[in-house]
Amino acid sequence: MKAAILSVGTELLFGQVVNTNAAYLSKELNSMGIDVMYHYTVGDNPARLADMIHMSFKDCDLVITTGGLGPTQDDMTKEIACQVLGDKLVEDKKVLEELEERLKAFGKDLVVTFNNYKQAMVPSRGVIFHNENGSAPGFALGDPEEKKFIICLPGPPREMTAMFKTSAASWLEKLVDSAMVYKEIRMFGIGESELETRLLPLIDGQTDPTLATYVKNGECSVRIASKRATKEEASAAVAEMIEKVNGYIGDFVYSLDNEELVQVVGRKLLEKNITISCAESCTGGMFAAALTDVPGISAVFDRGIVTYSNKAKMEELGVKEETLAAHGAVSEETAMEMAEGIRRVSGSDIGISVTGIAGPGGGTPEKPVGLVYIGFVYGDKKICKKIDRRITDRSANRRHSLLTMLNIINKEI
C-alpha cells in the first residue's frame, strides 16, 4: 500500500509552524509496511487541496491529511474530503454532546463560540475518531471498490498523535498485507562520509534489507529496513544485518534501536542505580533538563547547579578563586573543580561539569568560541575532555557539549 501525507495549513507555507506531523506519520506508516511516497503541504485553499488529493490518488491508495479540521472559517479539509469521495457532512449527536461537555468542563475560562459547533459535522459514511485532546474529531473515509482511502486528522501534534495511536492505526492495520520493520542504529563521534565508506561493502548492491545513512543534529545514524510478508521475517532479516553493521562501526554506536543518547544514559543510570549530579556553565541547564526528561530519573538524579557567574562557581561548588584567576572559568582546572564540587555537595556517585564559550561572542585568540571543557568524576575515575570546534553557532556548541557529556557517561559506566 502506498500513501501520501497531505498537510493543510497556510501557517506551514508561511513557515510559522514546522511540520512535525509528516515525520511522525511517516514513521508510523512505514512501521506498518505502508510506503510513504510523498509529503505535500498546501494552504487553506479548497481548490488546491482538492487538486492535491486527486493527484495523490494517481499513484497512492491512501491519503492522510492533517490540519484544517478546526472551528475556524478557513478549516476546509472535511468538506473537501467528502467532495472527493462523494460523501456529505451530517451532524453527529455523539460528537455534539462531547463538544458541549468539553466546553462546559472548561467553565468560565473558555468563551463558548458558535464556530465550535462546526466541529460536530462529520462525513455520513465516515468512521469517526474521537479526539481526546481537543474538540475536532477525525475520521476515515473509504472507497473500498476503487481502493481509495482518506484519513483526516487534526493539525495540533498532540491531538494528531493521540488520535493516530488510539483510532487510526487499528483502522489502517486491517488494510495492510505486508510488514515493514526498520531499526535505526545511532552513533556519536563519526562523520557521514567516513560512516558510508566503512559500510560500503554492505551498502553496495543492497536489496532487502536496505541500508541508509543519515545526519541529524550533529549525529549520524544508519537505518536498516526490511519489507517482507510477515513481521517476523522482516525482523529476522533486520537483526541479521544489524550484526553485520555493528561489526564495522560498533565502536561509535550507542543505540541499536533509535534511542536518544539521553534515554540510553538515563536507562543505564537507573539500571545500575548510579546517582548523578551536574554543574553546568555554558549549557546553562540543558544537561539537567535533558536528563530529567527521562521519566523516573528522580531515583538517581539528585541535583544540577547552573553556575553562570564566577561567584556562583565559588559559592555553590567551591571552585577556588586562585583557579579562576590563574586559568579562567573556561579551563581544565575549573572544569575539574566544578565536577569535584558538585560530587561533594550532592554526595552523588558521578559529578559531571561543563564550562565553555558557546558564542556567538565572548571568544579570544587564546580561548576561541567553541572551546569547551567537560569534567567527569566517578569513583577513582577523573576525566577532562576538551572540545575545540571553531564553530560560532551558540545552539550547535551547546548541543554538542551536551552530547559529549552524555557520551562520556555512556562510555564510562
| Subset of residues 141 to 180 that bind its own copies, contact rule: CB under 8 A | 156, 158
Helix (H) or strand (E) holding 387: strand 381-388
Q: Whose grid coordinates read 493539525? A: 155
Look-up of cell digits 514546522 = 18
**Whose Cβ is closer to its own copies: residue 23's or residue 229's?**
23
One residue of 23, 88, 173, 201 binding its own copies per CB under 8 A? 23
Cell of 340: 569535584
Nearest-approach distance from CB 40 to its own copies, in angstroms: 6
Edge-first strand listing for the sheet containing 350-356: 276-280, 350-356, 371-378, 381-388
Q: Which of 91, 165, 321, 360 binds its own copies (CB under 8 A)?
A: 360
CB atoms inside a 10 Å sphere around CB 404: 17
Closest separation in Å from C-beta 88 to its own copies: 25
Residue among 346, 355, 397, 401 that touches its own copies (CB under 8 A): 346
189: CB partners within 8 A, 6+ apart: 252, 407
Q: Which of 301, 373, 376, 378 binds its own copies (CB under 8 A)?
A: 301
Give the number of other CB atoms < 10 A from CB of residue 112. Answer: 11
CB 286 within 8 A of CB 402: yes
Q: For its own copies, give the closer residue by CB, 94 or 158.
A: 158
Options 274, 312, 314, 387; binder of its own copies; rule CB under 8 A? 312
CB count within 10 Å of CB 64 equals 30
- Which CB sits closer to its own copies, 10 or 246? 10
Among 8, 19, 228, 343, binds its own copies (CB under 8 A): 19
Mode of pairing for the β-strands spanning 350-356 and 276-280? parallel
Give the count of residues interacting with its own copies (CB under 8 A): 96
Does residue 108 bind its own copies (CB under 8 A)? no
Taking CB under 8 A as the criterion, which residues in 369-398 touch its own copies? 393-396, 398
What is each CA distance from 2 to 55, 177, 230, 232, 233, in whole angstroms?
A: 13, 12, 17, 21, 21
Site for its own copies in 221-280 (CB under 8 A): 221, 223, 225, 280
| Contact status: 16 vs its own copies (CB under 8 A) | yes
| Cβ atoms within 10 Å of 157's Cβ, excluding its own | 17
Choose which of 271, 315, 321, 388 interacts with its own copies (CB under 8 A): 315
CB atoms within 10 A of CB 59: 10
* Min CB(332)–its own copies separation in Å: 20
Minimum distance, C-beta of residue 374 to its own copies, in the bound complex (Å): 16
Query: For its own copies, which is the closer residue by CB, 53 or 141?
Result: 53
Pick from 1, 2, 32, 39: which binds its own copies (CB under 8 A)?
39
Instruction: Restricting to residues 204-223, name those near its own copies by CB under 8 A.
Output: 212-216, 221, 223
Shortest distance, position 141 Cβ to its own copies, whole Å = 24
Which residues between 41 and 70 bind its own copies (CB under 8 A)?
41-43, 48, 70
Residue 308 contacts its own copies per CB under 8 A: yes
**310: burial class by Cβ within 10 Å (0-12, 13-18, 19+)?**
middle
Between 36 and 234, whose beta carbon lies closer to its own copies?
36
Nearest approach in angstroms of CB 278 to its own copies is 8
Q: Which 8-state DSSP code applies to residue 167?
A: I
In the complex, the smallest distance separating the C-beta of residue 71 from its own copies, rounded to whole angstroms, is: 6
- 242-251 contact pairs (CB < 8 A, 24+): 242/183, 242/185, 244/202, 245/185, 245/199, 245/202, 245/211, 246/185, 248/198, 248/199, 248/201, 248/202, 249/185, 249/187, 249/190, 249/195, 249/198, 249/199, 249/222
Is residue 140 involved in binding its own copies (CB under 8 A)?
no
Closer of 135 and 323 to its own copies (Cβ): 135
10 binds its own copies (CB under 8 A): yes
- The set of residues, in sequence order, having a beta carbon less than 8 Å from that of 410 and lying 6+ positions away, is 254, 261, 264, 265, 268
Cα separation, 141 vs 249, whole angstroms: 46
Q: Is 201 an interacting residue with respect to its own copies (CB under 8 A)? A: no
Question: Which residues, 6+ apart, have CB-to-CB distance to 108 below 8 Å?
Answer: none
* Contacting range for its own copies; rule: CB under 8 A; set: 123-131, 227-235, 304-312, 373-381: 304-312
